[in-house]
Structure 1
């Protein structure tokens, strides 16, 4: 249409230009310009000063200027030997407003309009309005909204500008009423449609939106259908045709796919050709099929990946593996040939980091397991990515691009792209219960102090019975090979006099230092030494008598301890925040060494693991075990009560107040038993993280259903599974604008009547990041 209109204008306007006698152009003047520079016009003209204007190049000049799209009218005139070009500029688009869109974001719609040349600041072409409607309607059709209407309105503004208003009425989304697979005899419809994103309306459709038709979803489902058959031996399976019918009211969709099922094929042979690089026996061990097996395309693809992976780990970054199946339709066999093309072996010339505005290059480089000047290794690159992602400094995935070095065929550069996020945080936690009152906590931490990778933290907690201040500093790379050193200083004071806990006060001062030694990429040993002073005050008649008796036995109100610690940790998580696979395990044993007021030891284990279970669901299993006992000259004593384990709380067995589960001691002055903790703790959690529709970044928010089980016992011999407490509920973790927010609603079960006073179903913490 645009070209036809231009030709019509050209035909009507060139008569005057043609009527001019040829002449030599002494100068060129352009009249009518407002926004466009004269130099722009000159750059499109096929003639210049000194040329002879003829009928032919006059027509070419007018056509060239119309083709720019800048002008709605062009005339050529002669004043003496001066060529005068009179133009009327098309208006520019000052504003582009889109209203009424809900299903598709405005930014996404504007991207589509930009592709057809409609964007703020550009020249307005009235003929583009029809294309605008077609483009937007196409986008909505692809999302199953066939009742959509798009209307446009142009408002003239001053200075030759226009404002475009696009009003969208989306209408109802078409719902899938039937999905028919014609030609299937081997499997049930339920089997072959398992995993489809498209489905007919069901009781979960309000949440999953699976009954809303989408061209993209249907295309993906057909690929899954193809894979289902190919992975089960149907090597000549094919989708013959697909029909999508819509009801007259455009609200119901009927999908029919006609398939050629074919027959099941067996593997008649597996051959390896090409430059294998490694011994044939090694490569053959990476092929997950053998003669007599049922054809399985998934195993074919996995075999290709395995071969490429092994070759990429020894420098062949661009290795290719092609698989050619030869089908014998009479015998129903498939003869498989793997062609290996390793390409040139390459090494890494340079590693470049991009996006780290705060973090020093050296902090990132020390996490890299792929080194400059060494052979390319995909395994080393993957390990490097994992280590960078688990630092907690960056958003989303760390991306590593491999780029060939120009002029060479055996060198590559690695571009490591990161997006930094706040590694420092100012965290606040606020809670309330009728027994503990307001509980306030705050911490300032920086996991990447001044971009050095060092960790620094100050934490304060305060309630009507508890106060603490803690300072911590860790240098994760005291040495180049990853030996770390950390320091921790703590002062705390517990006064349980106004609570339902055992009534005593404990003022603690401690200082410790810890050395960490890497054992492997994911394993680490820790060695620590510290000194602690506890001043304990008990109150006859108001404190549990068994605590008073214990203090009288040791004969001191102030307890001094020299503490040695050895620990082991293993971290295989794929992300620091919101992991979806892998886990963390830690085991520590600490002891109050000879010379301490009371000699005792404690062992504590904590392990968890994440499993993706499909559909965006992630399962987390978490377990804790703690045990303590006296030894040496003090082995006749019970485990010191101020070192007891406790259970219950928002970070423990949810649904109960902090530290209220386990042994209790009756105090006549109060008329009830008070929690005193114990020397043996067991706790387990099963938690299922649920997918949140339309949420691309799962690290911003997570919802989980959980079951917590646990308790504390006087000692190991007192363990009784029937006394385990449990709760179930829902938990929300959200990276809110005010900072991380965690809300849990838990319902206790397997509880005892005496537990009811400690139940606290709604628990939350929130924070603020900087």
Structure 2
């Protein structure tokens, strides 16, 4: 049909072309234009004023205008010596709507249609409708959906425009019923298909979609098959043929791949040729294939990458390394040549930033480790990207290079960022099982006026705490990255409204600190703070142990000068959801001489993220905390003797009050348990527990009178976590949400000498972390599998918290 239509069209063109005698064109007039400019037509017209118009030239002109696809009809006419061109414009596509697609995104479908000439703003050609159907069906066939139907509808609009509505019924994807590898002898089907994305239906197919056919997946699997053999010495391995068969009902698929294994080859010689730049001995250390090794394509490719990486770090940004294996099929050996072409050494002319509509250029520039005017370094580029990602201001950071026009040794580096909200104003309600209902209000900005400074003020009210705070931090007080911060806070806390020991505090404080970078990954924090904390105990409700300690301290209000010294080593590659790297940190907080209680606390943490393939990320974390008093605290020895006698007389025979003046203060104790600690146990309920009357609880945690013992924490804490983050298809953006399987182990002890590994608590479960609009949401389902009978009151399987907390 298309050929017949073309013949009819050519006959029509010939008829129009030969409708007049030759003449010299004095002028050209175009009739029928409404949307297309006359200048556009003149650009395509192979005729000008003064040309002699013959039948052949007329035919050529008509053909040129038809080929623009702007017109559905073209006629040539004559008005004296004026050439009159009469055209009928094709309509333009005003709207392109696609409905019913679920498996393929609309943007992806439109990209395919654009290649056929169907896109909003383009000229509409009715003959292209068939191509539309074929293109969309092709995209679905590539995904194994052979029952798809595509129905385009064209609606005429005013001003010579059309609207195209495409209705898609995707149908169900064909299932892979069999995958047959033919010709394999050295390895079983299970071995070589272990890493395939395509597979036959199994219990996890609902999640992995491995049984849904995709041409791209099959192509990738065949590449993995080839790599599997070639990484194990089969240098002449090949896939001879691949056949995909669809059942008559288009619901089942059968895949057959015929392979030729060949023989195992050994490497007998490795040569390095070309311009090596560096000494050959240094370059050979980057080659992971040695004489006598079994041929390994993966090792060869990694060698090429390693050499290019080293060269790119010293300015050779466009270095090429070409491995050339020469096979001896009789001896089953390979002579390997690595040919190095470094190209020219490249320098960076400019570093250009784009996409930062709020953030000032200098905020990005100070994180850059690739400097203008310096030699190009891929390591510096990679480090710059990580530093920018860790700021938390950007959803996405891309860094690209481009040769300066007319130059072979200069590039411009473009840093393209996609900003995300770095501040918020919140008035909301949250809830946690520990704090109950939380009313909060906050104003925070982590990128204040685009300067990179952070500032926040906040206030919250819950069933047990009221707090207010203000914080400011300038990360670049000096050009070399020394930052300064200030913090002020006030809080009133009534632990009697929780499962913790029954007492209340009223605290206020102010601190300032410096952040000092040591290396790219190491920094030191030095701080000084002053605080006042009034501790209120209630006889008859608060444990006697705490009351006795406060009496020996001789003061209900605790005044402290606190010095802080911390160190951290941070190699994480992200701010909210890292996938590699880790954090090592240690901090010492010391209340200085002159404080009501002199003590120090040391905390340390080590964690790391490992990507382990297919989107899985393993996370391990270990924490330890220890505190101890120093110097002389509390009342004098004479005052203590009087207090001891009076207290023992009041409590009755048999009570002996211990000297607690050097004990670690209970209000500074570490605590353990909860949704951010050892999950599966209520917040802060693990560790030492005491009875109100001073007696010891029984094995089930009960005291005389039937009430529960009260947790008080301790001066020594250990915590360990192993977490596996899962690649869930419905959570594409890990910066928004993550799901993990976890195991927590930990506890808190009265002091270091009380540590007993057999009393460590442990739990396992699944957790969701979501950056919800209302604030961070954490939901955990945890089952304790290592506990004590006394924990029965405090176990908690489902734990959650949401809303901003300060």
TM range (shorter): over 0.9
Q: Structure 1 residue 17: deviation in Å?
A: 4.7
Aligned length, in residue pairs: 767
Partner of 2:800: 764
Decide whether aligned partners of structure 1 residues 121 and 664 sit closer, same or farther in structure 2, where only a CA change above 3 A counts: same
| Preserved contact between residue 10 and residue 59 of structure 1 (Cα < 8 Å) | no
Give the corresponding residue for 1:663.
688
Match in the other structure for 2:57: 57
3-state SS of the aligned residue for 2:305?
A: helix
Q: Does 1:33 align with 2:58?
A: no
* Equivalent residues of 2:731, 2:738 under 8 A apart: no
Q: Is the Cα contact below 8 Å between 1:603 and 1:628 reproduced in 2? A: yes
Aligned residue number for residue 728 of structure 2 = 692
Measured in 2, the distance between the counterparts of 1:38 and 1:469 equals 70
Contact 1:6–1:66 at 8 Å: present in 2 too?
no
| Per-residue deviation, residues 594-652 of structure 1 (Å, max 9, x unmatched) | 11111111111122111111111111111221111111224952100110111122222
Could you tell me which residue of structure 1 aligns to residue 179 of structure 2?
A: 179
Q: Residue 749 of structure 1: CA displacement?
A: 3.6
Please say if 1:517 is aligned against 2:516: yes
State the match for 2:759 in structure 1: 723
Q: Which residues of 2 match residues 280-679 of structure 1 at below 5 A?
A: 280-396=280-396, 398-426=397-425, 430-433=430-433, 437-634=436-633, 637-667=662-692, 671-679=707-715
CA distance in 2, matches of 1:462, 1:655: 25
Query: After the TM superposition, which residues 248-287 of structure 1 pair with which residues of structure 2 at under 5 Å, given as runs?
Result: 248-287=248-287
Using the TM superposition, name which of 166-175 and 10-19 deviates more: 10-19
Choose 26-35 or 593-602, whichever is displaced more.
26-35
- Would you say the 8 A contact 1:737–1:768 is kept in 2? no
- Verify the 8 A CA contact 1:17 1:77 in the aligned structure 2: no
Q: Give the Cα–Cα distance (whole angstroms) in 2 for the partners of residues 308 and 436 of structure 1.
A: 55
More displaced 10-residue stretch of structure 1: 163-172 or 190-199: 163-172
Q: Confirm or deny: 8 A CA contact 1:426 1:768 kept in the other structure.
A: no
Range 447-456 or range 757-766, more displaced: 757-766
1:435-468 per-residue CA deviation (whole Å, 9 max, x = no partner) reads: 8542345543322211111122223332122122
Query: Which string of whole-angstrom CA distances, capped at 9 and with x for unpartnered residues, describes residues 153-177 of structure 1?
Result: 3333444333333222222211111
Question: Partners in 1 of 2:440 and 2:762 — Cα distance?
Answer: 26
Shift of 1:767: 4.8
2:767/2:779 contact within 8 Å kept: yes
| Secondary structure of residue in 2 paired with 1:687 | strand
When residues 432 and 400 of structure 1 are mapped into structure 2, their CA distance, relative to the original with a 3 A threshold, is: closer
In structure 2, relative to structure 1, the CA distance for the partners of 1:749 and 1:141 (3 Å cut) is same
| Change in 2 beyond 3 A, CA 1:273/1:52 | closer
| CA deviation profile, 1:483-531 (whole Å, cap 9, x unmatched) | 2221111111112334443222211111111122222111111111111
1:8-48 deviation per Cα after TM superposition (whole angstroms, max 9, x unaligned):
23423543552322333344333333333333333333333
Distance 1:98 1:401 in 2: 34
Query: For residues 739 and 594 of structure 1, what CA distance do their matches in structure 2 show?
Result: 41
> Are 1:42 and 2:42 counterparts?
yes
CA distance in 1, matches of 2:377, 2:475: 26
- 2:430, 2:803 within 8 Å by CA — same for their partners in 1? no
Aligned CA distance change for structure 1 residues 168 and 667 (closer, same or farther; 3 Å):
same
- State how far apart, in whole Å, the 2-side matches of 1:679 and 1:33 are: 87
Q: How far off its partner does 1:690 sit?
A: 0.5
- Distance of 1:747 and 1:695 partners within structure 2: 25
Q: 1:746 aligns with which of 770, 782, 785?
A: 782
Contact 1:2 1:127 in 2 (8 A): no
The separation in 2 between residues aligned to 1:199 and 1:726, in whole angstroms, is 37
Q: Taking structure 1 as reference, are residues 16 and 331 closer, same or farther at Cα in structure 2, changes over 3 Å only?
A: closer
Q: Kindly tell me: are residues 598 and 407 of structure 1, through their superposed partners in 2, closer, same or farther at Cα, counting changes over 3 Å? A: same
Supply the distance in 1 between the matched residues of 2:684 and 2:169 (Cα, whole angstroms). Answer: 56
Contact 2:424/2:445 (<8 A) preserved? yes
Q: Is 1:104 aligned to 2:104, yes or no?
A: yes
Equivalent pair of 2:632/2:662 in contact (CA under 8 Å):
no
8 Å CA contact retained: 1:355, 1:418: yes
Of stretches 197-206 and 56-65 in structure 1, the one that deviates more from structure 2 is 56-65
Q: From the superposition, tell whether residues 432 and 399 of structure 1 become closer, same or farther in structure 2 (CA, over 3 Å).
A: closer
Contact 1:6 1:63 in 2 (8 A): no
Taking a change above 3 Å as real, the CA distance of residues 767 and 258 of structure 1, as seen in their structure-2 partners, is: same
Compared with structure 1, are the counterparts of its residues 215 and 597 closer, same or farther at alpha carbon in structure 2 (3 Å cutoff)?
same
Q: Is the contact made by 2:552 and 2:661 (CA closer than 8 Å) also made in structure 1?
A: no
Q: Deviations over 1:544-576 (max 9, x none)?
A: 111110011110111111111111111110111
How far residue 91 of structure 1 moved from its aligned partner, in angstroms, is 2.7
Deviation at 1:135, TM superposition (A): 0.5
SS of residue paired to 1:348: strand
Query: Could you say which residue in structure 1 is the equivalent of 2:647?
Result: none
Q: Which residue of 1 aligns with 2:641?
A: none
Does the Cα contact within 8 Å between 1:426 and 1:767 map onto a contact in 2? no
2 CA distance for matches of 1:711 and 1:26? Answer: 99
Q: Deviations over 1:371-423 (max 9, x none)?
A: 22222222222222211111111113x22212222333332221122211112
SS of the aligned residue for 1:569 comes to strand
User: Contact 2:175–2:200 at 8 Å: present in 1 too?
Assistant: yes
* Partner Cα distance (1:572, 1:496) in 2: 38
How many Å apart are 1:330 and its aligned residue? 1.8
Output the CA distance in 1 between the equivalents of 2:345 and 2:435: 67
When structure 1 is superposed on structure 2, of 407-416 and 31-40 the one drifting more is 31-40
1:215-261 deviation per Cα after TM superposition (whole angstroms, max 9, x unaligned): 00000011111111111111111111111111111111111111111
Task: Assess, with a 3 A threshold, how the Cα gap between structure 1 residues 753 and 461 changes in structure 2: closer, same or farther.
Answer: farther
Moved more, 713-722 or 493-502: 493-502
- Measure the CA separation in 2 of the matches of 1:594 and 1:607: 31
2:748 matched to which residue of 1? Answer: 712
Q: Distance in 1 between the 2:280 and 2:85 partners?
A: 76
- SS of alignment partner, residue 530 of structure 1: strand
Residues 734/559 of structure 1: CA separation in 2 closer, same or farther (3 Å cut): closer
SS of corresponding position for 2:65: helix
What are the ranges of 5 or more consecutive residues in structure 1 without an aligned counterpart?
A: none
CA distance in 2, matches of 1:429, 1:758: 25
Q: 1:90 & 1:680 partners in 2: Cα distance? A: 81
Q: Determine the structure 1 residue equivalent to 2:657.
A: none
Query: Which moves more between the two structures, 576-585 or 422-431?
Result: 422-431
Q: Note if contact 1:438-1:464 (Cα within 8 Å) is conserved in structure 2.
A: yes
CA separation of 1:168 and 1:367: change in aligned 2, threshold 3 A: same
Q: Could you tell me how far apart the structure 2 residues matched to 1:715 and 1:162 are?
A: 80
Structure 1 residue matching 2:289: 3-state secondary structure: coil
Q: Does the aligned pair in 1 maintain the 2:267–2:293 contact within 8 Å?
A: yes
Alignment TM-score, normalising by the size of structure 1 = 0.95
User: Helix, strand or coil for the counterpart of 1:528?
Assistant: strand
Query: Alpha carbon RMSD of aligned pairs, Å?
Result: 2.3
1:220 to 2:220 alignment? yes
Query: Gaps spanning 5+ residues in structure 2: where?
Result: 634-659, 694-704
C-alpha spacing 1:46/1:337, structure 2 compared with 1 (3 Å): closer
Summarize the Cα distance change of 1:416–1:164 in structure 2 as closer, same or farther, 3 Å threshold: closer
